[in-house]
Chains A and B, each alone.
Chain A
């Protein structure tokens, strides 16, 4: 074993501080997940060890049970940096700044949608562009409007007539990260992002029409407005080319400044700058602008989803599509934990604030914030609730998905021997995708069983199972 660790709880493991680590690291796993970590030669745990070497990190460096090998940070990594002494790392946020998931609930049931499933899939696919450099030809924002979006996020989009004021109440941070400065975003980022607002992109991004097939916590489900058999929509996308370029720009800039700040790195993708420095400040303001683009992107897709349901014959009153929650899993946010101001990097991990936290929408405050955990397109996704355990142990964080089990190359190789779309159709799932390759990369077999990840989160007390959803329609890039 190349990374020393010890079991400290039923699902909790500790990597004691060694080498250049400044703090211990903690990760969550079942026996099966532990075996998968061994199969990748603990590459992701080595990345977690690297994260623990960053200046100003507050104990512990963390990884959620959907941990897998990323670049720089592991996917599933959480790192809280002291707000005064710590650093900010664009690699700890990722290229897809503020990538996240939004869940819409409806008044419809599975029986309402089954008969028109194919038609609804076509309308969704037509209205929500996906795939490479996908653009909306029906919506072009002026430079001023785009700057408003970067500064103000989803509220700017609602003001333009795309969605309802009440949508904003159910978005993390109200759909707007404070401190965003559109002038810290490069012209190339604007060029890459401007035509892409309101688009899904490709890779693991998707829109799924799902139905609620199990309720585990009736009180929390009621608070979230979920009931068995109900139709819901899960949207997974981020800040598109704009966010990618912000990350690229600042990783390069921070690498050039490492010697100025006397920062030593085990991996250049961890490039960092002090939070309290002009470089750190510039990045945080650009990152907030990209985050606001992502919130706005999901808000626009929500609008076009409603339009697709209306085209399929459901009036707004019939479908009643409302935002349950919009939750990011790639960002860095200033928060207070145990009386200390920290900048929490979540890279493939979500915020999971427990009951009573003032940042949770009033309607959910008694049960904890919704935590949205997509699985794969053939099985299920989960809705969890944030817990006090997460507040105590993980800086209010939890898992963000199933985590990949197979590389994309291995997934494609396996998929070539299968009729992927046919197999999904037999399970009652309709797929619309831009390219065959995207579907092949994303076959259910490429992912860990998200139920395994969720059981670890639930068992460790850093999230609480509320409901499970199964897909009916999958739209991909």
Chain B
């Protein structure tokens, strides 16, 4: 099935993401972000990095997750070529645990398409329709 479709946003970039499960939605949203940042599929890296995040709701968790990846890539120079993740609810909060296999930015610098400033909350609502989770993600570039 198709998981990503580019959103025709005039000023910034964005995509619509669909998945059968909520963790799947987060996974494909991260893929969508990486597709905006790099040309072509990325090879998995050798170094493993763990990520744990919490947020009051799934939308905030998604924005936080994408922003964490932007920070890792653009500030720390670590590109998550491969990753797996699971959602870990804790009380009323949402949580995410991810394992990233990262490679140095220099290794894929020639495929870099341009800086992303941040993921935004603009029009962001995670909805379930027809058995699929769906969200529109707009990135400020």
Interface on A for B, CB 8 Å cutoff? Answer: 40, 43-44, 68-72, 75, 91, 94-96, 131-133, 188, 191-192, 201-203, 241, 244, 247-248, 251-252, 255-256, 267-269, 271, 404-410, 435, 437-438, 441, 477
Candidates A40, A133, A191, A248; contact of B118 at CB < 8 Å: A248
Report if A133-B11 is in contact (Cβ < 8 Å); known contacts: A202-B115, A203-B114, A441-B114.
no
In the bound complex, do residue B10 and residue A69 qualify as a contact, i.e. CB atoms below 8 Å apart? yes
Stretch at the interface among B22-30, B95-103, B119-127: B119-127
Q: Known contacts A132-B114, A133-B75, A477-B114: does B8 contact A269 (CB below 8 Å)?
A: no
Q: Are A96 and B141 in contact (CB under 8 A)?
A: no
Which residues of chain A are near B120, meaning CB under 8 Å? 71-72, 91, 269
Complex interface: chain A residues within 8 A of B84 (CB): none
* A271 pairs with B118, CB closer than 8 A: no
CB distance from B80 to the nearest CB of A (A): 15
Q: When the two chains form their complex, are residues A132 and B60 in contact, meaning their CB atoms are under 8 A apart?
A: no
Closest 5 CB pairs of A and B: A71-B122, A268-B121, A437-B113, A202-B115, A269-B122
A132 touches B11 (CB 8 A): no
Kindly identify which residue among A40, A71, A191, A271 contacts B12, using a CB–CB cutoff of 8 Å. Answer: A71
In-complex Cβ contact of B67 among A96, A248, A255, A256 (8 A): A248
Q: Which residues of B contact A202 (CB under 8 A)?
A: 114-115
What is the bound-complex CA distance between A38 and B99, given in angstroms?
Answer: 45
Q: Does B81 contact A (CB under 8 A)?
A: no
Query: Which residues of the partner chain B approach A268 to less than 8 Å between Cβ atoms?
Result: 59, 121-122, 124
How many Å lie between the Cα of A420 and that of B121 in the bound state? 34
Tell whether, in the assembled complex, residue B138 and residue A71 are in contact, meaning their CB atoms are under 8 Å apart.
Answer: yes
Interface residue? B2 (CB, 8 A): no
A94, A267, A435 pick with most chain B CB within 10 angstroms: A435
User: In the complex the two chains form, is A438's CB within 8 Å of B12's CB?
Assistant: no
Are A132's CB and B74's CB within 8 A?
yes
Kindly report which residue of chain A lies nearest to residue B55, judged by CB atoms: A252
Question: Inside 8 A of B105's CB, which chain A residues have their CB?
Answer: 132-133
Report whether A75 and B11 are in contact in the complex, using a CB–CB cutoff of 8 Å.
Answer: yes
Q: A75-B11, A241-B74 are in contact. List 13 more A-B contacts (CB 8 A).
A: A68-B10, A91-B120, A95-B140, A133-B75, A244-B118, A248-B67, A251-B121, A256-B56, A269-B123, A406-B10, A407-B8, A408-B12, A477-B115
Q: A69-B9, A404-B11, A407-B10 are in contact. Are A95 and B124 (CB under 8 A)?
A: no
Contact call A407/B9, Cβ cutoff below 8 A: yes
Q: How far does the alpha carbon of A65 sit from the alpha carbon of B140 in the complex, in Å?
A: 21
**A460 CB to closest chain B CB, in angstroms?**
22
Would you call A201 and B9 a contact (CB within 8 A)?
Answer: no
A91 to B59, CA, bound (A): 17
- Minimum distance in angstroms from A252 CB to a CB of chain B: 7
B118 A95 Cβ-Cβ under 8 A: yes
Chain B residues within an 8 Å CB radius of A91: 120
Q: Within B58-91, which residues are at the interface with A (CB < 8 Å)?
A: 59-60, 63-64, 67, 71, 73-75, 77
User: Using Cβ atoms and an 8 Å threshold, which residues of chain B touch A71?
Assistant: 11-12, 120-123, 138, 140
